[in-house]
A and B are shown apart, each in its own frame.
Chain A
């Protein structure tokens, strides 16, 4: 991972071109992370991928997290990897909850990292985060007609009725 001055350098250079893009930067358990504004996610990721001296060309993992009750509530994590220098960098796009019946939105990075295809669909499937510009944003692991976003923290566990004949007999 980049060292502390390296991370500040990255932050400074991003802020030169995109003021307000980086919200926070820091180390946690020895891992560097950048918290960014979701509006700037594509420029930041493409800069980290393509700018000379950066070269975070490999997206190890893309996943979402729900920080309820914190605000902004959601985050999409991009675990970037520079394979030449063996450095990991976490980019965290913080997304606010837009409220009832609306879904948080962020730009899809499939054009930059084709590997994000399945993983963005998974984040959509479980957290209801809409990735704008994704070629086929449908549910991937859950059935297509499923209602709800089950990995949000306020979604209860269990309680799904299953239609076995025993259940029908016992409970009508």
Chain B
């Protein structure tokens, strides 16, 4: 890059990329100052899909907020649900049953694989490897089939509830999931066989988009981006939530922190997530899948026709919703993109006074300028893919 800087044969110019460029992975606009083909400055402009979800949540009772927050980061919807439900559970100090913890862990990790598959497919597509998209979406479809089986929806499932999950997994789910667990590591090996020795892929990812570990930490970057720079920081290991303390898994880290490391870390994470799913399925405890607290949790459907009390609880929960005593909480989990935090402020009524999401894509996007500076435009596109922002989450 240094010799390019000395040879100033080209004029500086400002180019607008987006908001609707296929390589922006959503409606992200980039105002880029170019000197020839080299990026000298860059400013992301966001807000094109801002829909005021946080404000709308203040008008909804707690249980109606769940489908809203799912639509923020539309690729990792289970994580938004867990962040919100977990925050409310901590506010009302409701312990969820062990089976619900394990079920949630299974679905979160399946969602992580799903999210990484979407990332791998679309990013490889940016680099010209179109077949990767089909292969990744083939496996993604199997995960969506599993979601559909358990929750009735392929995306935005509203499966997690405050207190547990809405329904137990159906018959035949385990067999399908076991087939998936058996196949997934093989598939990941096939992706690696396609990409790891692909000359174009290697030369475009190796050594590009390097940001030092210290700088990433300053910028608040978390998740695979930080781990690719060699920092083994993972909230699943650091904090105690759901069934993660009982799971045996590794935290993949990179060495250089370039785009190739980011790719390697995410691909390795898919294998680790498969291992977690398998362990959680093996150790899945028997028992209720949702807490038995009629103040917060809907009574079972079967009781409604025989028990007057259940009917009253059901009616109260559906019409007004439950009230949450005044208080505030910040609950953070490890989403596929980093630390996903949910801040809930309760004022004692049946609606939250504030719901705020610390979205990892939003914070990580600040590192994009550092990743792209003094590199080629083509490398910038690779870095953006490897950054993996979901603009629904950025803009909320």
Contact = CB atoms under 8 A, between A and B. Distances in A.
Contact of B219 (A31, A88, A90, A114): A114
B47 A140 contact: yes
A13 interface: no
Given A61-B330, A151-B55, A153-B353, A115 B239 contact: no
A65 B59 contact: no
B327 interface: yes
Interface residues of A, number: 38
Contacts of A79: 330, 332, 341, 343, 358
Interface residues of B, number: 39
A59 B58 CA distance: 26
A88 B365 CA distance: 23
Interface in B320-370: 327-330, 332, 339, 341, 343, 345, 353-354, 356, 358, 362-363, 365-366
Contacts of A114: 218-220, 366
Given A60-B332, A86-B238, A113 B218 contact: yes
Given A63-B356, A153-B353, A77 B330 contact: yes
Contacts of B354: 65-66, 151
B188 interface: no
Contacts of B221: 115
A65 B328 contact: yes
Contact of A118 (B54, B56, B217, B365): B365
Consensus secondary structure, chain B interface: mixed
A122 B93 CA distance: 30
A117 B50 contact: no
Interface string A117-154: 11100100010000000000001111100000011010
Contacts of B58: 153, 157
B59 A142 contact: no
A57 B233 CA distance: 14
B247 interface: no
A140 B29 CA distance: 12
Contacts of A126: 54
12 contacts: A28-B328, A29-B90, A30-B90, A61-B356, A63-B356, A65-B328, A65-B354, A83-B238, A118-B365, A139-B47, A141-B50, A157-B55
Which 8 pairs across A and B sit closest by C-beta, in order of nearness? Answer: A115-B220, A61-B358, A141-B47, A141-B50, A63-B356, A114-B218, A86-B238, A61-B341
